[in-house]
Amino acid sequence: MQTRRLGNSDLEITPIGFGAWAIGGAGWAFAWGEQDDNESVGAIHAALDAGINWIDTAAVYGLGHSEEIVAKALQGLSQKPYVFTKCERVWDESGKVSGSLKADSLRREVEGSLKRLQTDVIDLYQIHWPQPDEDIEEGWTTLNELKAEGKVRWIGVSNFSAAQMKRAQAIAPITSLQPPYSLLAREIENDVLPYAAENNIGVLAYSPMHSGLLSGAFTKERAASLPADDWRSRNADFQEPNLSSNLELVELLREIGSDHGRTPGEVAIAWTLRDTVVTAAIVGARRPDQIAGIIGAGEFRLSQMEITQIDAFVDPAESPTA
């Protein structure tokens, strides 16, 4: 796969990265249900073998477990991928998650991530959520200090608004933004993406398949049988009345993909990457065999006619014939 420069950094990354949210396993508020660690390691190896050169994780995924599994998968590899992780989400002894951008908390967090990842430096360290908002300046100042100290190579933000990025930019340059972006989540198009473009901030779009809903593997039956410890079971997009229309969209993606030998998921990811402001997409996988259904999106490009067709389906008001 060709690579792209991430914002103001020296990181040349593939258009698709491996997302390690789901491999954190069960037992925390935003888990995806039970997960086999051996399958997780196999999925990472399959992604690297297919040419993906970066992994995105976070301390809170599995309350530290995801970072540990990433480290396990990378043990003994002569050529290792870039590893990106996140701070700010902390948890107590009972597993209750909260947000902190205080300097002492972030310094404890980076040491915890370095230990779990078994590394001396983190390639990209990101503030996971801008919470609490009033502490953004303290948090971003601390990340800039960690960069100067050599704990992390580059620093970025996640889930920030344009106004919040402007506040951080006044302190130190932002290398990257990680926002949710998919056919079913387009809120960042109005002001967040333009701000990123104007300020040379790389964009790492997460959930381009809308947490698996647009992968082509989802059905009404599967949605109804999601276990209680899978956060998607409580999400409106996986429930009626939204579910039926969302699955109709998947059938359109399937139809378009069939003309190119691509899966619906690859079409969904390619749509996210159609905008050059988006540097790359974070794509999760829980099993080695899932990589084959997503990897083609790294090179696949939709035609303008196909993009128009998809956009008209999602928002008929935008259709030229509406």
Q: Using the 8-state DSSP alphabet, how is residue 155 labeled? A: E
Alpha-carbon gap, residue 30 to 59, rounded angstroms: 13
287, 209, 279: which is closest to 47 by C-alpha? 287
**Catalytic positions, please?**
61
| Contact yes or no for 184/237 (Cβ under 8 A) | yes
Alpha-carbon distances, residue 312 vs 246, 259, 316 (angstroms): 14, 19, 5
Q: What is the DSSP string of 26-94?
A: SSSTT-BS---HHHHHHHHHHHHHTT--EEE--TTTTTTHHHHHHHHHHTT-SSPPEEEEEESEEE-TT
Counts for the chain of helices (H) and strands (E), in that order = 10, 12
Exposure pattern of 195-217 as b/e (b: 16+ CB <10 Å)? bbeebebbbbbbbbbbbbbbbbe
